[in-house]
Structure 1
């Protein structure tokens, strides 16, 4: 475990950072940062990449993570922000905001895949980090659960699109709804499939 190596070299407050919704064409991008009280503890043995867990498991682990964290921050990046600068820029800036939102300053930051440029804290970007670092896995769960809750809420506002089921990602059902009902304000106009629909008058 990466955290074990960092702890053995003297680092204590290690933050994990991850996002949910980067590849979706609707809804916000949600990013979480979390400092676990003891990332080596057995109580986190079930914490892993949120995509490998069921919704029920994620909800249960969400509470475990919150209750056993030194500090956590969850931020939502709006569709407007995503469209104005692109999803990658929004992702990096969102990670920065999440880290700066931690009430306890981390001594080291682990991110999933992407480096936070200009962060004045030692950091490491790890490809598929949510599979090898429990702190990143914990952040992925916080982000995923939060975003899923947001998308279920948006489902009641936009009942024709099935947001509760696909969470804003492209599926046959979502594509069919877009073709029939058109693009809404929660769809990302900077994404190619949505831009094409707008170009075609949807």
Structure 2
């Protein structure tokens, strides 16, 4: 059994950060399905594979903007999230897509947090089918969450990433109230710039400016 773990939404200013752990018995089967890094697939193909992969053993952890704002830093938070995703997975060889510039350090930290033996590599989502599968589930889950927010709020949030013009426009609208909207990551520089200064802290938030 091979287990891959990956995330989606680390750099997004809107919506959740999603981590998925995925277990695979056959990497050959995943390759035959056309599984590869989610960034290399069309939306249609990701959606098709999501339906298939969701029937296989996996665990998804959805981290809210509030939890992100309440965290000390993203690297430590993602160590926690990767460990949480692994908590109910079957035993197997664990490969992580490294979120730290130091892949070995990331592996050590997740291993310590989860009490499991983990290996981490940069671009693991490109080189290991089980991590590619995790990346697909994580990305589709996150993208659908942002799409649902757009529908509920009646505003086009775009991809949720700061480089997206639609997202930039949406952020400007979402900071017009007494507080920034709950779907925003208040500690992101994109939000503080749109707010015109440091936003009021979330309850119990450790306020700082990121990205």
Tell me which interval the TM-score lies in, with the shorter structure as reference length: 0.7 to 0.9
The residue aligned with 1:186 is 183
In the alignment, which of 161, 165, 172 is matched to residue 169 of structure 1?
161
Runs of at least 5 residues in structure 2 that lack an aligned partner in the other structure: 100-105, 200-211
Cα distance in 1 between the residues matched to 2:126 and 2:171: 34
Cα distance in 1 between the residues matched to 2:146 and 2:54: 21
The residue aligned with 1:110 is 95
Cα distance in 2 between the residues matched to 1:156 and 1:64: 26
Contact 1:25/1:187 (8 A) holds in 2: yes
Say which SS state the counterpart of residue 40 (structure 1) adopts. Answer: helix
Q: Which runs of 4+ in 1 moved over 6 A?
A: none
Cα distance in 1 between the residues matched to 2:88 and 2:67: 18
The alignment's TM-score, normalised by the length of structure 1, stands at: 0.82
Distance 1:83 1:51, change over 3 A: same
The residue aligned with 1:36 is 24
Contact 1:15/1:109 (8 A) holds in 2: yes
Runs of at least 5 residues in structure 1 that lack an aligned partner in the other structure: 1-12
Count of residue pairs brought into register by the alignment? 183
Cα distance in 2 between the residues matched to 1:195 and 1:109: 38
Cα distance in 2 between the residues matched to 1:30 and 1:24: 11
Cα displacement (A) at 1:42:
6.2
Cα displacement (A) at 1:181:
4.5
- 1:198 matched to 2:199? The reply is no
The residue aligned with 1:51 is 39
Distance 1:93 1:48, change over 3 A: same
Cα displacement (A) at 1:120:
2.3
Which segment is superposed worse, 86-95 or 38-47? 38-47
Contact 1:108/1:121 (8 A) holds in 2: no
Say which SS state the counterpart of residue 161 (structure 2) adopts. Answer: coil
**C-alpha RMSD of matched pairs (Å):** 2.0
Distance 1:122 1:201, change over 3 A: closer
The residue aligned with 1:153 is 148
The residue aligned with 1:78 is 64
The alignment's TM-score, normalised by the length of structure 2, stands at: 0.79
